[in-house]
A and B are shown apart, each in its own frame.
Chain A
Amino acid sequence: MDAQALYALRDVAGIPTHPVVFLILGVATFALHIAAVQIMLGASGLTIWGALSGDAHKRRLAQSMVMVTKFMLSVAILIGVAPLLFVQVTYDPFWYTSNVLSAWWVIGFILILTVASLLWFWFNARNYKLGESKKTSCPGSAILSVILLLVVGFIMHVLTNQMLSPEKWMEWYAPGGVLDTSGRTLHEYNLPRFLFFIVMSVPVIGAVLVGYRRFYLPRLGDESLNMSREYLDWTGRLGQKMISIGGVLTVVMGIWWMATLPEKVAGFAYSPWAIISLLALLGFAAFARWVNAGRMDSLWAYAVLGVGAVAGIVVAIAREILRWDILMGVHNYNAMEYPVNMDWYSTILFFATFLIVGGGALAYMITVAWKAGQTKGVYTPGPVISRMGDIAIALIALWIIQYFAIGFYVWLS
């Protein structure tokens, strides 16, 4: 598929803002999405580990992680919508073709994710007090759920991987000149690339555990939580171990991935972005060790997850640059040349909504959730946080008013 054909596939309506904006948003939201996926996978692994064990600490941890998995599953699906949107904007020729060529798997993605989610919710409903009982009901449902979640992750991996091989599309669509319109085949995968993102769940959930320990320290006296100092210290040590071992494993997977790059972009393995990613991952593990040396009870414990998030963002940027190198360097597709039909109103409205309305409402909600989680009994916010709630409601109401005001004006004019 040459560049002329790739450009012909771009949407005829153009895009409403410069492509670089969509590329940046795509990277940022992918980083958030993959972080949520990794926390979910890591938490689900710890849940199963604990649920199959008789050890009290492991079972108590499983009781927490089953909820973390449930919530992060929702968050991963929710945040995943954004990179899915942005990839269609600038990379539509590649994304749509890749999807059509494996269409049944795309539909399968929806069905399998649905079953996986229902299985986890089912397991959660049957085992919401894992720490207090010695028996686990239907552990198979949790195991099957995680297997299915890995399958949907693999489908998504294949779809993003197939995007990068336009030279093979015709061979997949019409092998030997005979059309294959069934969409039943997953054509191309890169195992180390897939494993890299999956294995990264280990250090990421390790960082979550370090933060988890610190979060519940102030509530040690709350008997309803059933958490002892010994238990929390155990989770901290476990988290640190997972960061160290998981960090090394992730780096190994990353090196394996780089070793399997197509010949034309093999040089990317030695590029600054590959090296910065490597350093970011190692830096994340090293920072966790530094916190472990006497700072686990301080606020530094939360920073471990923050540094991990930075490493994740660096990896997401490197992933995007690799995609750019392949599509631009090998296939001469320049996403930056996407025709722009500038639409200021919808562009400004989005950023205002994202930063002001979304930022305001989420800041309030997350603050309330955080504080309520750290409070024994009923949490009553002070005047500042309470005011934040009023402002959040006012901002959304204002947004609704502008929708109808502008809408009626356009409609009736």
Chain B
Amino acid sequence: MDLIGLYPTWYEPGIGSGWVVGLIATIHVLFSHTSVGAALFFMALATIAYRQNRPELLDFIKKYGLFLLVFSYILGSITGPGIWYSTTVASPRGISSLIHSFVWKWATEWVFFVIEVVGVYLVTYLVGKVDQKTHLKLTIILGLASYTTMMIILGILSFMMWPGKEEWFTEGGYLLGFYGDNTFAQLAMRTAFMFAITAVVGSIVTSGFKDQAFRAQMNRWLAVMGIVSTIIGAALFGWYLETLPEYAHLIMENRLQAWFEPSIYAILAGILAYFVFMLITPRMITTAVASLATVAILVFGLWPVETARESIRKPFVSGQYVYSNQVIARDVPGMGIKSEMPILEEHGWLKTHAFIPDELRTVTPQNAARVGEALAITMCSNCHSLSETGIRPMKNYLGGVTDIPAIKTYLLAALATGNTMYMPKIPMKDEEAEALAVYLATLTDKTVAERYAKEKSALAQAASVEE
């Protein structure tokens, strides 16, 4: 019999594996956007410093560079692969699909990343130790290499949402998956916001300057950069939304909280207010104020946007063919990919999932709840917590219902047929639906499983006596 390629599941009952990925990814966005934005900003500053003979600007580059060594190039370098690690354990087939289509893209990004890290060390530590022209060249190499890392990763991120071109499904190939409307819109938007983030984080660096006049001047420059980039970024955000597929808009309208859109505008207004404050009173930006603003960007700016981006591609986790529960949901002839749905429809999960223990492959009244739990962990737990906490707790969706036949009917009628918006189609055999229903009922009432086993055993006994 054909097996489907499902891995074991890591189920984290506290906050849910999805939040773990989200936390690491969001923090990484802050570090990485800062490093790219700062590298480009250094290019501009170094050019001005050498053309106008202003060595104090090099002092800023050195101080920001030293700060970045920890902030971006250690913490960012760890959280970058950290996203791989966390997605590996939370969604192995999701990350695998990206790795296998874009391995060369990631490898290419790595080359630029090596240049970038070597570059930041040289730009920081060779100030005053090499001649001006050489230092400027090193700064330009750092800036350009840094930006290419962003250009590359953006194509992969866009593919996660939706392959660049519809033809990718029929023709395959990296180019058709990588480039599309969303790629360029997202690159443009992130480039703008990247400078805004750089300006906020840069104000932490300037807050440590002893020369107050220079500190004020740098803060004014950063503020202007922040204001311009926030306004451009807000405009590009509109373009980015336009490039999202229709289905994503439908999800946004129906699934995102009503406060989401106004809150985004409020956040943008807050960022602008910070920069205006910085422009008018540049000496009021202390380390505490700047650090607070950085944390605010992370919590109120990046977190909701990144989690929304995750949400609107559901029920898929990658390329519109890998479901969040790791099942391959559609044929992709261009890549020779076959949907696993027909196998699941014919044989169910228990017979085709390699990591189901043998004693749970056949449903009995005694093991029904345990089988159901194994199925819930496999089918549901990536998006629905099976505990009281975590992402979208399953119990909340059952409305206190413990009627096993009713739950089973819902599972077979709405889920197995794919008639629930935002949810994947989850084919299952009759006995699997029954076992899952028993387990789901126990989320509300723990005694259900035992009663079910007794009733079923009694019925079986009565039937055998009658015979």
**Chain A interface (Cβ < 8 Å from any Cβ of B):** 1, 4-5, 8-17, 22, 25, 71, 73-75, 77-82, 84-86, 88-89, 92-93, 95-97, 99-101, 103-104, 106-107, 109-110, 113-114, 117-118, 121, 169-170, 173-174, 177-179, 181-183, 339, 341, 343, 345-347, 349-350, 353-354, 357-358, 361-362, 364-366, 368-369, 372, 375, 378-381, 386, 389-390, 392-393, 396-397, 399-400, 403, 406-407, 410-411
Name the residue on B nearest A5 (C-beta): B354
Contact assessment for B4 and A110 in the assembled complex, using a CB-CB cutoff below 8 Å: no
Q: Looking across the interface, which residue of chain A has its beta carbon closest to that of B126?
A: A372
Complex: A74 Cα to B92 Cα, angstroms: 27
- Complex: how many Å from CA A104 to CA B12? 9
Q: Which of B10, B107, B126, B358 contacts A368 (CB 8 A)?
A: B126
Docked-complex contact B129 and A379, CB < 8 angstroms: yes
Check if A389 sits within 8 Å of B100, measured CB to CB: no
Name 8 A/B residue pairs within 8 A (Cβ), A-sorted: A15-B100, A100-B8, A106-B85, A343-B173, A358-B114, A389-B137, A407-B179, A411-B164
Q: How far is it, in angstroms, between the C-alpha of A71 and the C-alpha of B122 when the chains are bound?
A: 11
**Is B8 touching A173 in the complex (CB atoms < 8 A)?**
yes
B100 and A390 form a contact (CB under 8 A): no
Q: Are B24 and A89 in contact (CB under 8 A)?
A: no
- B contact residues around A183 at 8 Å (CB): 10, 12, 89
- Taking the complex as formed, is B50 at the interface, i.e. its CB lies under 8 A from any CB of chain A? no
Complex Cα distance, B115 from A392, in Å, reads 11
Known: A15-B100, A372-B129. A396 touches B144 (CB 8 A): yes
Q: Does B144 lie within 8 Å of A78, measured CB to CB?
A: no
- Contact check, B164 vs A181: say whether CB atoms are below 8 A apart: no
Which chain A residues lie closer than 8 Å to B70 at the CB level? 117-118, 121
Q: How far, in Å, is A355 (CB) from chain B's closest CB?
A: 9
Query: Which of A100, A107, A178, A361 contacts B141 (CB under 8 A)?
Result: A361
Closest A residue to B386 using CB positions: A181
Q: Top 9 nearest A-B pairs by Cβ distance?
A: A103-B10, A103-B89, A346-B104, A181-B11, A96-B92, A5-B354, A389-B137, A358-B111, A8-B3
Asked if residues A8 and B4 are in contact (CB atoms below 8 Å), the reply is yes
Q: Which residues of A contact B105 (CB under 8 A)?
A: 346, 350
Binds A, one of B246-254, B335-343, B444-452: B335-343
**What 17 additional pairs, Cβ within 8 angstroms, besides A25-B107, A78-B113, A403-B148?**
A11-B97, A13-B101, A88-B99, A93-B5, A96-B92, A103-B17, A107-B86, A109-B85, A181-B8, A181-B10, A343-B104, A345-B174, A346-B174, A349-B108, A350-B104, A362-B115, A380-B134
Shortest Cβ distance from residue B310 to the other chain A in the assembled complex, whole angstroms? 18
Task: Determine the chain B residues whose CB is within 8 A of the CB of A15 once the complex forms.
Answer: 100, 103
- Asked, given contacts A13-B337, A121-B74, whether A71 binds B104 with beta carbons under 8 Å apart, the answer is no
- Contact between A365 and B88 (Cβ–Cβ < 8 Å)? no
Check B130 against A100 for contact (C-beta < 8 Å). no
Contact residues, B56-112 vs A (CB, 8 A): 69-70, 73-75, 77-82, 84-86, 88-90, 92-93, 95-97, 99-108, 110-112
CB of B269 within 8 Å of the partner chain: no
CB of B282 within 8 A of chain A? no
> Is residue B216 within 8 Å, beta carbon to beta carbon, of the partner chain?
no
* Interface: B357 (CB within 8 A): yes
Query: Are B75 and A174 in contact, CB atoms less than 8 angstroms apart?
Result: no
**B354 near A411: Cβ-Cβ < 8 Å:** no
Known pairs A9-B5, A12-B5, A341-B172; A365 contacts B138 (CB<8 A)? yes
Judge whether A74 and B137 touch: CB under 8 Å: no
Q: Which of B20, B118, B130, B145 contacts A380 (CB 8 A)?
A: B130
Closest to A108 in B: B85
CB–CB A411/B111 < 8 A: no
- Select which of A1, A22, A353 is within 8 A of B103 by beta carbon: A22
Closest to A375 in B: B129
Cα A86 to Cα B103 with chains together (Å): 8
Most chain B beta-carbon neighbours within 10 Å: one of A25, A114, A177, A179: A179
Task: Compute how far the CA of A169 lies from the CA of B126 in the bound complex, rounded to whole angstroms.
Answer: 51
Q: Are B337 and A12 in contact (CB under 8 A)?
A: yes
Residue of A nearest to B135 (CB): A368
B229 near A: Cβ within 8 Å?
Answer: no
* Shortest CB distance A155–B (Å): 10
**Contacts A81-B110, A88-B96, A106-B85 hold; do A366 and B118 have CB atoms under 8 A apart?**
yes
**Quick check: A16 and B104 within 8 Å, CB to CB?**
yes
Give chain A nearest CB distance to B135 CB in angstroms: 9
What number of B residues sit within 8 Å (CB to CB) of A? Answer: 102
Closest B residue to A397 using CB positions: B144
Question: Does B175 touch A at the CB level, under 8 Å?
Answer: yes
- Pair A14/B354 contact, Cβ less than 8 Å: no
Contact indicator A74/B77 (Cβ below 8 Å): yes
For A82, give its contact among B17, B69, B110, B338 (CB under 8 Å). Answer: B110
Could you say which of B17, B117, B381 contacts A78, with CB atoms under 8 Å apart? Answer: B117
| Assembly CA distance A12 to B93 (angstroms) | 9
**CB distance A410 to B82 under 8 Å?**
no
CB distance from A187 to the nearest CB of B (A): 12
Asked if residues A11 and B93 are in contact (CB atoms below 8 Å), the reply is yes
**Are A410 and B165 in contact (CB-based, < 8 A)?**
yes
Which residues of chain B are near A16, meaning CB under 8 Å?
100-101, 103-104, 174
Contact A170 B357 (CB under 8 A): yes
Please tell me which one of the listed residues A92, A173, A368 contacts residue B122 in the complex, with CB atoms under 8 A apart: A368
- Contact assessment for A339 and B357 in the assembled complex, using a CB-CB cutoff below 8 Å: no
Interface residue B359 (Cβ < 8 Å from any Cβ of A): yes
A358 and B95 CA atoms in complex are apart in Å by 26
Check if A365 sits within 8 Å of B118, measured CB to CB.
yes
- The residues in B between 366 and 395 inclusive whose CB is less than 8 angstroms from any CB of A are 370, 373-374, 377, 381
* B137 to chain A: closest residue by CB: A389
- CB–CB B138/A368 < 8 A: yes
Residues of B within 8 A of A390 (CB): 137
Residues of B within 8 A of A407 (CB): 178-179, 183-184
A381 contacts across to B, CB distance below 8 A: 130-131, 134
Contact (Cβ within 8 A) B7 A9: yes
User: In this assembly, does B151 line the interface, its C-beta being within 8 Å of a C-beta of chain A?
Assistant: yes
Per-residue CB contact flags for chain B residues 1-21 toward chain A (1 = under 8 Å, else 0) read 011110111111000010010
Q: Is B181 among interface residues, defined by CB-CB distance under 8 A?
A: yes
> Counting CB contacts under 8 A, is B400 at the interface?
no
Q: Are B181 and A411 touching (Cβ within 8 A)? A: yes
B166 to chain A, nearest CB (A): 12
Q: In whole angstroms, how far apart are the Cα atoms of A15 and B100 in the complex?
A: 5
User: Known: A99-B89, A107-B20, A121-B70. Is A341-B336 also a contact (CB below 8 A)?
Assistant: yes
Bound-state CA distance A65–B21 (Å) is 35
Partner of B81, one of A84, A89, A365: A84
Bound complex: CA of A88 vs CA of B103, how far in Å?
Answer: 9
B355 within 8 A of A: yes
A380 in contact with B103 given A179-B373, A181-B8 (CB within 8 Å): no
Is B133 part of the binding interface, using a Cβ–Cβ cutoff of 8 Å? yes
Residues of A within 8 A of B183 (CB): 407, 411
**Chain B: which residue is nearest A410 at the CB level?**
B179
CA distance A1 to B3 in the complex (A): 12
Alpha-carbon distance A8/B180, docked complex (angstroms): 31
State in angstroms the CA–CA spacing of A61 and B140 once bound together: 34
CA distance A183 to B104 in the complex (A): 30
CB contact between B336 and one of A14, A75, A101, A396 (< 8 Å): that residue = A14
Q: Which of B3, B9, B115, B328 contacts A4 (CB 8 A)?
A: B3
| A109, closest chain B residue (CB) | B85
Q: Which residue of A lies closest to B84 (CB)?
A: A84
